[in-house]
Amino acid sequence: MIPEGSLLIAEDLHKTYAHTPALAGACFSIHPGEVVAVLGPSGSGKSTLLHCLAGIVQPDAGRVRYAGRDLTALSDAERSALRRTDFGFVFQFGQLVPELSCTENVALPLRLAGIRRKAAEQVAMEWLERLEVADSGSKRPGEISGGQGQRVAVARALVTSPRVVFADEPTGALDSYSGERVMELLTEAARSSNAAVVLVTHETRVAAYSDREIVVRDGRTRDPDHSL
Ligand SMILES: Nc1ncnc2c1ncn2[C@@H]1O[C@H](COP(=O)(O)OP(=O)(O)O)[C@@H](O)[C@H]1O
Ligand SMILES: [Mg+2]
């Protein structure tokens, strides 16, 4: 059963690394603007599912469809182009470029899209303000806290107005207070931009920020709401 109006759909995904099965029949769907948490114990296949949904990893079997297109049938170049324009990413450790200032980090996706430096940095500074880290703009990632770094990473993920934000344990390296603030700001910003969020986490506290939860176990998904 495919839920109507879905933006991103995965059907029966399988992926094996060497002899390790990472996905063994995973299904997923998300609507525009929806925040879906992917829960499950460590090693259950959450990150592999996220990577398949985002077109970073090709599944061995199964299909991923995004906005009516078969993502698994695109060439590598087409998939990376799509990732740049339509998707944003936040990982456990911000993965900011250490040599660049935080403003330059957030401006980077816009620069890669061909926007001139001054205009890109202007938009980047507005996003840093929304994420309450305007003061970090001129600093480098090494000079700010983990929580501030994740807010900068969220700003960078949203700066191109993506339709889907993929977040893999975005608060996994933070204390609970800064983690909750990052989640509040991430979901608020995503909702106001109508971006869908695929939120991978093993913390139920973090999943509380989602509209819906799905659980992954041994590479299989359970979706209590959709019986996928
Ligand atoms: N690049 C990889 N090479 C080999 N094995 C991998 C790779 N990525 C994941 N795995 C294995 O696949 C399984 C699922 O991993 P993963 O998707 O990272 O789970 P989770 O994110 O839920 O912790 C684990 O057994 C893991 O060791
Ligand atoms: Mg993981």
pLDDT digits (tens, 9 = 90+) for 169-207: 999 989 999 999 999 999 999 999 999 999 999 888 899
* Long-range contacts of 110-119, Cβ-Cβ distance < 8 Å, separation of 24 or more: 110/159, 110/160, 112/84, 113/84, 113/85, 113/160
d(CA 200, ligand 2 centre) in Å: 8
Mean pLDDT, residues 102-118:
96
Note the ligand closest to the C-alpha atom of 22: 1
Domain regions of the chain by residue span: 8-222
d(CA 43, ligand 1 centre) in Å: 6
DSSP letter string, 170-210: TTTTS-HHHHHHHHHHHHHHHHHTT-EEEEE-S-HHHHTTS
Q: How confident is the model at residue 107 (pLDDT cuts 50, 70, 90)?
A: very high
Q: Which fold has domain 8-222?
A: Rossmann fold (3.40.50)
For 66, the 3-state DSSP assignment is strand
Residue 223 in this model has a pLDDT that exceeds 80: no
Q: Which atom of ligand 1 is nearest to the CA of 200?
A: 21
Which residues are near ligand 1 (CB < 6 Å)? Answer: 17, 20, 22, 40, 42-48
CA-derived radius of gyration, the chain: 17
Mean pLDDT, the chain, as a whole number?
93
Q: Which atom of ligand 1 is nearest to the CA of 216?
A: 22
Note the ligand closest to the C-alpha atom of 216: 1
